Amino acid sequence: MQLEIAALSKPGGRTINEDACGVWSSQDACFCVLSDGAGGHGGGDVASKLTVSRVLDWFRQRPECTSEAVEAALTAANVAIVQTQSSQLRLADMRATGVILSVDTTHGHAIWGHLGDTRLYCFREGKVAVQTRDHSVVQSMVDAGYIKPDQMRGVPQRGRLLGALGDAQNFEPCIEQRKFPLRHGDVFLLCTDGVWEYVEEAEMEQALSECKSGEEWLRRIEAKVLEKGKVGQDNYSALVVWCRDLAEQMS
């Protein structure tokens, strides 16, 4: 399996970009991580950068595409944030979301895990086949039937999280337990809420149908964010992983 990777991270209408992302590949695997920091006074960007660096450091030492590895990498990032909170007063309340995509390029399968409202989507044949569930108040409202899924973006408390990295007591990431078999043409999108707040799933699908590369698709997504954005809008970041089977391409 060959992967095409594209990345985007912009401050939006903010002075500081508290998002962070990173990718590391071995001979047999690829590991992607995206994080959105929170906490103010500079703490958010510290937390997101810690998340990315600790996750990738963990996989550099143990390049394993398993659910146990993804959970361990997120745990390592959580420990690093908690330990750093006590180093400076301004960092005491810092938190971060996190999503990891682990791809075994030799055997052609993927595993992922996340915490918070930074999302992972998988598009198969141009349609959403996988979408992670947010750890947020508004997601709980959807689950309880108080609002419909298409109303999530308009709820005032949409940004209130029920889980995040940097919590020493209630650290409960969601980890995909089964290996996800990949097909030629599968496309993953990892994105912060600064992206999905402004770009609905149907718009993602429509833009994808008109694009032949991850870079082109990200440009279309960014255009939608900027079109619908507002003064002082949130940072927005995304990673695209486009899966191509060389045997399929040559047949």
pLDDT in tens, 55-113: 999 999 999 999 999 999 999 999 999 999 999 999 999 999 999 999 999 999 999 99
pTM over 0.85: yes
Query: CA of 214: how far to CAs of 51, 68, 209, 221, 239, in Å?
Result: 24, 29, 12, 10, 9
The mean pLDDT value of the chain amounts to 94
The Cα 100–Cα 54 span in angstroms is: 12
pLDDT at position 115: 98
Closest listed residue to residue 185, CA positions, set 216, 211, 223, 219: 211
Q: What percent of the chain has pLDDT over 70?
A: 97
- pLDDT bucket at 150, cuts 50 / 70 / 90: confident
Most confident region among 7-16, 38-47, 239-248 by mean pLDDT: 7-16
pLDDT at position 154: 85
Element (H, E) at 97: none
Give pairs for 131-135: CB < 8 Å, separation 24+: 131/201, 132/99, 132/174, 133/174, 135/161, 135/162, 135/163, 135/164, 135/174
pLDDT at position 250: 47
Closest listed residue to residue 130, CA positions, set 161, 87, 101: 101
Output 157 or 51, whichever has higher pLDDT: 51
The Cα 153–Cα 200 span in angstroms is: 9
Phi first, then psi: what are they for 249, rounded to 5°?
Answer: -65, -35
Domain count, the chain: 1
CATH number at residue 102: 3.60.40.10
> What is the edge-to-edge ordering of all strands in the sheet holding 119-124?
2-10, 236-244, 187-191, 119-124, 127-131
- In this predicted structure, the answer to whether residue 52 has a pLDDT above a threshold of 50 is yes
Q: Look up residue 231 and give its two tokens.
A: 């003064």
Q: Look up residue 195 and give its two tokens.
A: 């992206």
- Name residues whose C-beta falls within 8 Å of residue 39's C-beta, 6 or more positions apart in sequence: 46, 47, 91, 93, 94, 95, 166
Helices 43-61 & 67-85, crossing angle to 10 degrees? 140
Instruction: Report the amino acid identity of residue 158.
Output: R
Output 20 or 158, whichever has higher pLDDT: 20
Which residues constitute the domain of residue 45? 2-250
For residues 121 and 188, is the Cβ–Cβ distance under 8 A? yes
Q: Mean pLDDT over residues 190-200, rounded?
A: 97
The Cα 25–Cα 146 span in angstroms is: 42
For residues 69 and 110, is the Cβ–Cβ distance under 8 A? no
Render pLDDT for 119-142 as a digit per residue (tens, 0 to 9).
Answer: 999 999 999 999 999 999 999 999
